């Protein structure tokens, strides 16, 4: 299969997964919050309960599907917020340079060196463990990588002859940035955004695992948190922690692959070369 074909397959399957996850509550037969009877506690996987049940008899498959919503929502929204800030800062710092650019890059560096996990935990503790807070905090901390990459690309594109030519046409800075620089850095920004999303999903899982997840929005990290606090693994209930763990890993991998393939497709040069 061509590179483009692979990318399309990856992208379409990704979109389908998203749809399934979003429509999950309609598709699955169990309520993830429904407590089971005493004999339904910690049942191993079966046809009736594909992922088994937890310590109060709730269906784990339903929980995993449900949990994807919070995890993906955090990934997508925090990624978008980071992309917005990171691309904006990178464009301005790269295109205008000078003192303002230097200042923006020092701010970026400051954000880059902050150990994000402790900061996220402290902020969540202060603001309260809510999903929107998680998204906001992860989004506001995830952008420096994007802005560095975007800036370095802008620096190189800014010096290209075609940019000089467009300027000599009499185009405004806004026109040059929006029509020539932004499209040129778009692929790399997109790829990096998706990588930031992967990190955001991972961070959200960590936060929830540590117990600062939104109690009203179940996520994969929360399931792991409960499996750990129940001591499920000690009694051999592997089905309690394995599915959410695998889902976190696969989703993160998926975001990374999609990011890389999108990059290859959006770039017109590689498209021609590899088809």
Partner 1 sequence: MDLVSISNLRTYYQTGFGEVKAVDDVSLVLFANEILGVAGESGCGKSTLSLSILKLVPPTTKISGNVFYHGNDLIRMSESELTKIRWKKISVVYQGAMNAFNPLRRCRDQVAEAILIHEDCKKATASERAAKLLQTVGIDPQSCDKYPHELSGGMRQRAMIAMAISCNPELVIADEPTTALDVIVQDQILNLMQDLQRKLHLSVLFVSHSLLTIGEICNRIAIMYAGKLVELGDVASIFKNPRHPYTQGLIASNPKMKTSKEDETEWRSIPGGPPSLIQPPSGCRFHVRCASSQDQCRKCEPRMREIESGHYAACYIA
Contact between residue 251 and residue 75 where contact means Cβ atoms under 8 Å apart: yes
If the CB atoms of residues 203 and 263 are measured against partner 1, the closer one turns out to be 263
> Over the range 100-128, which residues count as b (16 or more CB within 10 Å of their CB) and which as e?
ebeebbeebeebeeeebeeebbebbeeee
If the CB atoms of residues 185 and 196 are measured against partner 1, the closer one turns out to be 185
**3-state secondary structure (DSSP) of residue 35:** coil
Candidate segments 72-80, 106-114, 253-261, 267-275, binder of partner 1 by CB under 8 A: 267-275
- Residues in binding contact with partner 1, number by CB under 8 A: 18
If the CB atoms of residues 106 and 179 are measured against partner 1, the closer one turns out to be 179
Candidate segments 37-45, 79-87, 117-125, 264-272, binder of partner 1 by CB under 8 A: 264-272
The alpha carbon of 229 is separated from its chain's Cα centroid by a whole number of angstroms, namely: 26
If the CB atoms of residues 34 and 165 are measured against partner 1, the closer one turns out to be 165
Minimum Å gap between C-beta 13 and partner 1 is: 27
Place of tokens 């620089």: 181
Minimum Å gap between C-beta 165 and partner 1 is: 5
Site string (104-143) toward partner 1, x via CB under 8 A: ----------------------------------------
If the CB atoms of residues 33 and 179 are measured against partner 1, the closer one turns out to be 179
Q: Restricting to residues 154-183, which ones interact with partner 1 according to CB under 8 A?
A: 160-162, 164-166, 168-171, 175, 179-180, 183
Contact between residue 217 and residue 77 where contact means Cβ atoms under 8 Å apart: no
H helical segments located in the chain: 3-22, 24-27, 60-96, 98-113, 116-127, 131-141, 144-158, 161-168, 173-176, 182-209, 220-230, 238-266, 268-274
* Residues 6+ positions from 76 with CB-CB distance below 8 Å: 197
Per the DSSP assignment, residues forming a β-bridge with 53 are: 59
The sign of the CA dihedral 210, 213, 217, 219 is negative
Per the DSSP assignment, residues forming a β-bridge with 59 are: 53
Minimum Å gap between C-beta 90 and partner 1 is: 18
Minimum Å gap between C-beta 217 and partner 1 is: 40
If the CB atoms of residues 26 and 161 are measured against partner 1, the closer one turns out to be 161
Residue 98, interface with partner 1 (CB under 8 A)? no
Q: At what angle do helices 220-230 and 182-209 cross, to 10 degrees?
A: 20
Q: Which of 184, 196, 207, 265 lies at the binding interface for partner 1 (CB under 8 A)?
A: 184
If the CB atoms of residues 39 and 272 are measured against partner 1, the closer one turns out to be 272
Angle at 264 between CA 262 and CA 270, to 5 degrees: 150
Site string (56-85) toward partner 1, x via CB under 8 A: ------------------------------
Residue 269, interface with partner 1 (CB under 8 A)? yes
Site residues (vs partner 1, CB under 8 A): 160-162, 164-166, 168-171, 175, 179-180, 183-184, 268-269, 272
């Amino acid at each position: 299969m061509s590179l483009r074909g692979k990318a399309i397959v990856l992208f379409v399957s990704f979109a389908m997964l998203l749809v399934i996850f979003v429509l999950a509550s309609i598709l699955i037969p169990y309520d993830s919050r429904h407590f089971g009877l005493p004999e339904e506690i910690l049942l191993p996987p079966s046809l009736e309960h594909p992922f088994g049940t937890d310590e109060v008899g709730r269906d784990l498959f339903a929980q995993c599907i449900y949990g994807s919503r919070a995890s993906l929502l955090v990934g997508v929204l925090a990624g978008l917020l980071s992309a917005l800030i990171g691309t904006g800062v990178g464009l301005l710092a790269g295109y205008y340079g000078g003192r303002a650019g230097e200042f923006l890059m020092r701010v970026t560096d400051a954000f880059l060196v902050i150990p994000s996990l402790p900061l996220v935990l402290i902020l969540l503790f202060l603001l309260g463990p809510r999903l929107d807070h998680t998204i906001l905090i992860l989004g506001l901390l995830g952008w420096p990588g994007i802005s560095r990459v975007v800036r370095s690309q802008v620096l190189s594109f800014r010096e290209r002859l075609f940019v000089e030519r467009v300027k000599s046409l009499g185009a405004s800075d806004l026109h040059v940035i929006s029509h020539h620089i932004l499209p040129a850095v778009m692929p790399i920004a997109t790829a990096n955004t998706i990588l930031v999303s992967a990190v955001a999903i991972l961070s959200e899982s960590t936060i929830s695992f540590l117990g600062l997840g939104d109690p009203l929005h179940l996520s994969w990290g929360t399931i792991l948190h409960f499996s750990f606090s129940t001591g499920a693994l000690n009694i051999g209930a592997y089905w309690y922690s394995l599915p959410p763990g695998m889902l976190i890993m696969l989703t993160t991998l998926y975001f990374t692959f999609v990011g890389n393939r999108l990059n290859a497709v959006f770039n017109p040069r590689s498209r021609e070369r590899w088809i």
